[in-house]
């Protein structure tokens, strides 16, 4: 149980792929103009991450070390194709909105990194849980970044939720304030870089405060022995 707790802590916070490892920044910054896009890409990445970890863990003892990376990439590509077809069939609006960044999940360093560093060295249960936690941590960063940019850029949250959830979700859009024109800095990539910098800085501040609250262990000073020589 403690091992699974550590895996969860690593994926969600301590070794978060978006805030600490800084992996997958291209889609992270490109498609998070709205919370809906961020959630859609996050869920797609999580599905591929969990599936690839499971399959890599299953075949790890049968794949020669010399060709393991190409085999892992083929597994990931097959899963991305399946997810892409599912989104195309059931959420076509989101499929169009995510565009090229959906098939580019194949090259996401988070997925290939976890396949090589963790799934290829652990059993199926641990690999699946690691994929779930890393995917959840990545999705969390996507959603926070997408929510902040959408709120500052157009004063809404969950705009276009029907693209992900269907026509019934049109009423989920929350309007906080009316804006004559969108705040373009928040909607464009420069705003994504700025917002991402603030998120990383906030995490570092929180980590520093957590570290300061930990009880400090007292270090005993080294005792220097004095040699006494008898003088006649």
**66-80 pLDDT per residue, tens:** 999 999 999 999 999
**159-204 pLDDT per residue, tens:** 999 988 888 888 889 999 888 788 888 888 889 999 999 999 999 9
Q: Is the pLDDT of residue 64 over 80?
A: yes
Q: Of the candidates 158, 143, 155, 134, which has an alpha carbon nearest to the alpha carbon of residue 31?
A: 143
Residue 104 pLDDT grade (very low, low, confident, very high; cuts 50, 70, 90):
confident
Residue 219 pLDDT grade (very low, low, confident, very high; cuts 50, 70, 90):
low
- Average per-residue pLDDT in the chain? 89
Q: Looking at residue 228, what is its pLDDT? A: 52
**8-48 pLDDT per residue, tens:** 999 999 999 999 988 888 888 888 999 999 999 999 999 99
């Amino acid at each position: 149980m403690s091992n699974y707790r550590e895996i969860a802590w690593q994926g969600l916070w301590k070794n978060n792929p978006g805030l600490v490892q800084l992996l997958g920044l291209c889609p992270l910054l490109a498609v998070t103009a709205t919370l809906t896009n961020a959630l859609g890409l996050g869920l797609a990445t999580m599905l591929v991450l969990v599936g690839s970890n499971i399959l890599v863990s299953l075949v790890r003892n049968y794949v020669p070390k010399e060709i393991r990376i190409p085999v892992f990439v083929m597994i990931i590509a097959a899963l991305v194709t399946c997810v892409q077809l599912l989104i195309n069939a059931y959420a076509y609006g989101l499929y169009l909105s995510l565009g090229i960044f959906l098939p580019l999940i194949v090259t996401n360093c988070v997925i290939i990194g976890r396949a090589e560093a963790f799934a290829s060295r652990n059993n199926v249960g641990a690999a699946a849980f690691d994929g779930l936690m890393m995917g959840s941590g990545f999705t969390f960063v996507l959603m926070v970044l997408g929510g902040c940019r959408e709120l500052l850029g157009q004063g809404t949250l969950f705009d276009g939720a029907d693209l992900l959830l269907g026509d019934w979700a049109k009423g989920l859009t929350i309007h906080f304030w009316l804006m004559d024109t969108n705040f373009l800095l928040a909607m464009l990539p420069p705003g994504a870089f700025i917002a991402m910098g603030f998120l990383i800085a906030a995490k570092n501040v929180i980590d520093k405060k957590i570290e300061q609250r930990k009880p400090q262990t007292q270090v005993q000073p080294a005792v220097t022995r004095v040699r006494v020589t008898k003088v006649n």
